[in-house]
Structure formats: structure tokens, C-alpha cells
Structure 1
């Protein structure tokens, strides 16, 4: 068991202070409209406030006609190239593509065969962490949460860098490639230590094979026997490609760009992305989907029967079942309307493997949730809303089919997304010269100071 931190502040004292804190921190919902403040940096129609320009990637899910938002099939493009085309070419050629995507996102062009070989070699040779790092930074301080441990690791790498604060393009590019390469190693090492410290299970720290692709390396490091099939590795590779970036406005990428705009070091900026992605409203959503699917399957006689699933979805939306949130996790998106291209790709890619490995019922349950949720939403809410499955609906099932533990669902997301964070950081450094400094309207009225003796 890991070392437990015991707070010296009593819970009764904290509970008493909470009322005082809440009393002086409530802002009336109407004040946001009064002062024309866009909460969550969202426009009234739910679209994001335009905060910057980017070459890195584009997320499209609707178009505007006569000031009306018109739904359309979702499209995700990296540097102008449709992610569907990128993945289709990799599948047709039976090759791994994540390293290609890393090159494309950072450098802005499709790599040649020689450039693909070069970037794979660089990443492979850079996967190892500094000498004694795993023992000193991970083994001695095991963490219950892998995302927090990865954040600590990234910040600790600052101390191992001979030139950590130099934000010139060559230095940040070096740091970026090293971090992209090292994320799988950090993730697996943190998980293996958690297995030993909190689950009382054996841990496996295998030697790194630099000639492997990122997807192969992850599966080899994770499994006790170091074995995996090419089909499994190619499916994981697809997951890495579709998670590598998602525009500059998603919370973790925006957090990375905000810190970058201050001129801070690479390790601090990437740690911000990790902290953001951990949140259940962002990268942690795939775990919510997995838990909800398990709940539905456990509480229905047949979770592939449309009538039973429909009734359960209605109860969940009415907050009569589930976790009480009223949400159907994995459904709906801030931008995508008719479809999320990532969900479409994952569903198609995972179906055969899911059926072959005994996850047919899980797949059919998710398919039922995807089909029926818009109908049930319209019945319960009385509002017709264009709604599609998002990437989280199927990503958890893919990981489950691949034998990846739930502890690593979000860390695996981060292992892919660090490529996008680094690309956006480099773009922010090379194209912007202003620190991000939005305004907050103070709604507290002026008060005359009261001396201590008169309070």
C-alpha cells in the first residue's frame, strides 16, 4: 500500500468554513446575461468563442446559414488532411500511422518514407527515461491515479534537462519529441508500480525495444508475456491517431496554449494539458461510459433488447437510475452533430475484434445506446436535438477488447494527445507574441473597510 497522507486540518473545521466560502462566492446566473459574459467561453448557441487561429487541425460539425446552425457530418482534419483518409491509407497499406501523424501535426506536411523511418527511429531511441528515474520518481512514490503520476513525472523531467527554460524552436522541438516518446514509458511504469503498491499484484518492467512502433511498444510493455497480435497493435494505432489532436479549443489543448503564451517551459505547459485531460468532463469521460455500460448490462435481463434499453435510458435521463446525473455518457458533442468521425472509425474498426474476443453483447449494447438515445431524449425533454455518439462511447470498449485496464483509459488518451499539445505549443511560440489575458467582470460592490475592533 502506498503512503497515506493524513491532513492535520480537522474535517469539522473545514465543514464549518465551507458555508462561509459559499456565502461569498455565489454569482447569480442572470448576472452573466446582464453583463454579456459567455460562460465557459461558449456563445449562446453552444459554439465556442473564437480565441485564436491555427494551422494544426480542424473540427467541423455544422455550418451557419442565415444565422442558423445547420448540422452536417462531422469532419476532423490534421493540417488539412481528413483523418478518415489518413487512417484509410494506413489500413490499406497495412502500416502503423501514429508516427506519421506526429510528423504531420508538428511539421505540417505528410512525411516521405525516409522521414517516417527517421521519426520512428528518433522516437524509438528516446523512449527510455533518465537513469534511476523510474526508481526515484515513480517507485518511491506510487500514486492511485496514473494521470497525476504522469504529471509529476513530466514536471520532474525539468530537473533532468540541461536547458529546460529555453523556448527557442530547436530546444522546444527536442523536448517535444522526447516527451512524445517517453509518455508510453511513464504511463506503463506508473501503472506497474500501482499494481504492486495498491493491488498487491506483480509488476512488469520490460526492457524497451526501440524498433517497435508506439502502439506495439505500449502493448509489449503492458503485458506480462510481452505478446500481442498485429491486429491488436494496428487497432491501438488507430486509437492513437484519432486521439492525437482535436483542434485548439478543447480544454487541454487550450490550457497548454494558455501556459505557453506566458513564456513558461515545456514541462509546465504539458503538465497543464495532463491536469485538464484528467477531468471527467474531458478525457475522463470514457471511464464514465464504461461504468454506465456495465450498469445497464447488470440491471437489464437483455441489454441488446431495444425496449429494455429504451426504458433504462429514459430512467437514467429522469435521474431515476444510474449515477443521478441524468446524462447518457458518450452521446452528444459540443461541435459534432450528425456524426463524430472518430466514433465512426472506432466503431467500424473495433466490431470484428469485439465479436472475435467475446465482447459481442457489449458492442450491441453500445450500438443500442447510440441508436435510441436521440429518440428517448426527444420524448423526455420534448425537444428534437441532433445528437450523435462521440468518441468516448466506443473507445472504452476498444481498450477493454485489447485488455487495457481502466486505470489506463485516460493516460492512453494523453499518450496520443501529447503530440497535439506539442504541435500547438510550437505554433503558439512561433506565431503569437501576446500572453492570453481574458477579462473577468467583478460583481462585488465597493465596501468601506471595517477595522478589526469593529467587526
Structure 2
């Protein structure tokens, strides 16, 4: 253990780099510019995230957020399938993969293709999920995706037809893998019943997930509608988000689909990416425990100020779920989720909690501006602020919050992988790192 401690300390010391060197060499840390906008590293036809505009002097001007899938604004997509009284995730996946909206016959056939791929090979479900169980559903999902490589005789075939086939298969199987992995984990580590429900024909992907998780008759139409909407809103967010960029980086090396998607899952698992809504839940539990009167805005505001001053909750000075790297005045995903969240909260008997969320959404930006002494950085609630609360109202356990994100985002990852490997301008992604360590002469071991 002494050597282990010594190695750990030496490792940390060897990683220390003078922060002034980043400025000296104009390093874009985190691939961010000085104004925190992303460094332009590629072009895409898939998604676009709009949170501000720039004037003639390059100054960012806040605006209402917009999210586009293949040129279609997310609000118009959502309101389109909602007006028809149907679920929209399958239609969204078709759009992301093909670049066009399906007609009725195409959508019907596409849904049939998804249903045909939902059943997992027995060897995969038995050996990788039900026998080799794990405590983390995200890791089990990534492991199972890699295992599916062995079941695919065309795993290394990079033709567009095969890439689409693999994409549809993964989109179809993610909910099944997640449900089975969760019950396997629950059985092994929480000593609860092992429940395996096979996907049910005729249900949408969102409905099937709720069915596999809760059983027939244990979820409402509103609950299925909201889960479907959440999947649509999380399906894509431009090529610059960490997991989609990971997909493109790994795909650019010409590796297989399963390796690229498992790498994206590793990225999404991180607390700074896919786990943000769980941090909101933890924060809200803390607020609920320390604010006596949830309806008293002054008391709520005082506690938010304590959080900003690192005197409450986790001491980080952050209000989770408030602010975004790109969105300023609003996050369109948050706006759409919130429209139905109150109705769901009322159905779940949690309207008081919803009101507290709404109060914090209103008060947090004001507290932040007051704390900073300026409003130069415009912030608003992001999608993670309400999504965890919605999943709670749906009766979904926290262990599945990030896996649900993956169930949705695999459609976007698949689209970005196809674009990366088939684009005429594709080349391996290899940014530069400058070495700032002094050269040293080798010293014989007897002289060290």
C-alpha cells in the first residue's frame, strides 16, 4: 500500500500543469472559446442547438432557445404528433437516421422493423444480463452492447444499409436491455423479485418500456405520453455534446458500431453529462428538508443564496438544473416538458412539489445575478431541472434516469456515426496536444 500511495501522489504531481501555459499557447480548454462557446470542429446535417445570436462585434445576445432535428424545430415536431394523439419517438428516430419525416406507410414499416428487433438473443440476455449481473445499469448496458457484436455476422460491414440495420436494432433493444439489467441488479443486490417481461407487440417503444418495468395496467396514458415526449427531447442535441462527440471521435477511426456506441455510453454515464437530473433530485430533497414553508418565496430565496455562498447543500455553490452551456433565455426541452409536468404532478399527488420546482425556476436566476453582482450571463432552467421529477412521478427508480437518457440518445448517436463514417470529408479526428515537460536524459537504475 505504501508504494500505491507513493505512485498515486507522483501521478497527481506529474499531471500538474501551470494554468498560465494554457493562455500562453491559446489552448481551448474543454474545446471552449474564451466566451465559453464551443470550438467549431465539424459540420453536420443532423441537429442544431440555438441559444444566442452574435452582433457585428461578436457579442452574444441572449434569445429564446431552439433545438432543431434535421432542420425541424423541436416544438413543431412535438406538437405535430401530440395533435394526432400518437407517440413520436419512432418518427423522431426515423427522421434522425434518414433526414426526412416518414409518411404513414414508412412509419408503420419502420415500427414493425423495431418490433422485430426487440427480442434479445437468448445467449445475450442469459449470459450478459441475467447471469453476469452488475450494480450499474449503464455499465451493464455498455457491456451488453459490446456483447451484441458477437451475435452480428455483419458487425464489421460499413455499408449504409448495414449501418441502418444496426442502428434500428440498437434503438429497439436498448429499452429491453435496460429493463432486464435493472431487474437483474435489483434481484442480486437489493434481494427483490426477478421479473422479466418480454416486449409486447403493438406498443410504442415508450409504452413497452413502462410495460416491462411496471406491468400491464400499472401506467396511465399520460405517463406513457410524457415518457415518449422525454425520449423525443433527449434523442439529439447537436454533434458537440460529449457523448455524441465521443461517438464521432471513435467512429472516425473506422471501428465498429458496437464499440462506438459503448464508448458513447461511457461518456453519458458521467455526472457532468447524463447524471445531471439526479443531482437536481438530491438538491431538491435538501431544499425540501431545510425550507419549512415551500410557498414562502423569501425563505426559498434565502436558501438559494446560502447554496450560492457554499453554505448549504453540497458546498459547490451550484444550483443544479439552472443554466446551460448554450441556452440562455430558455431551454426548449424544459419548456415542452413543463407544459405537461403539472398535470402529471397532479395525477401523482405531488403538486406541492411541482410548485416548489416552479418557484425555484423563477427565483434561482435572480439569486444568481444578485450573487454575481451582474446579469452578464443569462441563465434559465434546463431540461434536467424537471426531468428527474417527472421520472419520479412516473414511478421510475433513480438507477434508470441515465439509462433512459441513453434509450433516447442512441438514435442521435447512430445518426452521427453514420454521418461520420459516410461523409466525403471524413477523416480520423486527431486534435493536437502540446507537450510542456522539459526533456530529460535517461538515468541508469543504479543512479536513481
Does the TM-score normalized on the shorter chain lie above 0.5? yes
Deviations 1:96-124 (A, max 9, x none): 10000001000001110111101111101
Cα distance in 2 for partners of 1:287, 1:433 equals: 36
Cα distance in 1 for partners of 2:295, 2:146 equals: 46
Q: Structure 2 vs 1, CA of residues 304 and 204 (structure 1 numbering), >3 Å: closer, same or farther?
A: farther
Cα distance in 2 for partners of 1:59, 1:274 equals: 21
Q: 2:300: which partner in 1?
A: 309
Q: Which among 233, 236, 239 is matched to residue 248 of structure 1?
A: 239
Cα distance in 1 for partners of 2:102, 2:351 equals: 38
Contact 1:59 1:75 in 2 (8 A): yes
Contact 2:119 2:198 in 1 (8 A): no
How far has the Cα of 1:13 moved from its partner?
A: 3.9
- Please say if 1:32 is aligned against 2:22: yes
Q: Structure 2 vs 1, CA of residues 282 and 152 (structure 1 numbering), >3 Å: closer, same or farther?
A: same
Cα distance in 2 for partners of 1:166, 1:207 equals: 29
Q: Which among 80, 92, 102 is matched to residue 111 of structure 1?
A: 102
Cα distance in 2 for partners of 1:147, 1:303 equals: 35
Cα distance in 2 for partners of 1:113, 1:225 equals: 27
Q: 1:223: which partner in 2?
A: 214
With 364-373 and 30-39 compared, the bigger mean Cα shift is at 364-373
TM-score by length of 2: 0.97
How far has the Cα of 1:228 moved from its partner?
A: 2.0
Cα distance in 1 for partners of 2:436, 2:374 equals: 34
Contact 1:127 1:210 in 2 (8 A): no
Q: Which among 399, 413, 425 is matched to residue 407 of structure 1?
A: 399
Q: Tell me the secondary structure at the aligned position of residue 160 of structure 1.
A: coil
Cα distance in 2 for partners of 1:149, 1:304 equals: 42
Q: Which among 424, 431, 437 is matched to residue 444 of structure 1?
A: 437
Q: 2:44: which partner in 1?
A: 54
Q: 2:319: which partner in 1?
A: 328
How far has the Cα of 1:226 moved from its partner?
A: 5.5
CA RMSD of aligned residues (A): 1.1
Contact 1:125 1:210 in 2 (8 A): no
Q: How many aligned positions are there? A: 445
The 4+ residue runs of structure 1 with deviation greater than 4 A are: none
With 344-353 and 227-236 compared, the bigger mean Cα shift is at 227-236
Q: 1:5: which partner in 2?
A: none
Q: Tell me the secondary structure at the aligned position of residue 132 of structure 1.
A: helix
How far has the Cα of 1:304 moved from its partner?
A: 3.3
Q: 2:413: which partner in 1?
A: 421
Q: 1:453: which partner in 2?
A: 446
How far has the Cα of 1:224 moved from its partner?
A: 4.3
Contact 1:331 1:370 in 2 (8 A): yes
Cα distance in 1 for partners of 2:188, 2:261 equals: 27
Is there any run of 5+ residues in structure 1 with no aligned partner, and where? 1-9
Q: 1:42: which partner in 2?
A: 32
Contact 1:310 1:376 in 2 (8 A): yes
Cα distance in 1 for partners of 2:295, 2:169 equals: 45
Q: Tell me the secondary structure at the aligned position of residue 397 of structure 1.
A: helix
Contact 1:121 1:210 in 2 (8 A): no
Cα distance in 2 for partners of 1:381, 1:14 equals: 42
Q: Which among 68, 79, 94 is matched to residue 70 of structure 2?
A: 79
Is there any run of 5+ residues in structure 2 with no aligned partner, and where? none
Q: Tell me the secondary structure at the aligned position of residue 355 of structure 1.
A: helix
Cα distance in 2 for partners of 1:302, 1:249 equals: 41
Deviations 1:384-433 (A, max 9, x none): 13101000000001111111111100000000000000011011111143
How far has the Cα of 1:269 moved from its partner?
A: 0.3
Matches within 5 A, 1:156-171: 156-171=147-162
Contact 1:262 1:435 in 2 (8 A): yes
Cα distance in 2 for partners of 1:366, 1:186 equals: 32
Q: Which among 90, 95, 100 is matched to residue 91 of structure 2?
A: 100
Contact 2:81 2:87 in 1 (8 A): yes
How far has the Cα of 1:195 moved from its partner?
A: 1.1
Cα distance in 1 for partners of 2:99, 2:295 equals: 44
Contact 2:89 2:232 in 1 (8 A): yes
Matches within 5 A, 1:204-353: 204-225=195-216, 227-353=218-344
How far has the Cα of 1:179 moved from its partner?
A: 0.3
Q: 2:379: which partner in 1?
A: 387
Cα distance in 2 for partners of 1:159, 1:171 equals: 15
Contact 1:286 1:396 in 2 (8 A): yes
Contact 1:292 1:329 in 2 (8 A): yes
Q: Which among 325, 348, 362 is matched to residue 353 of structure 2?
A: 362
Contact 2:280 2:385 in 1 (8 A): yes
Deviations 1:230-266 (A, max 9, x none): 2211111100100000000000000000001000000
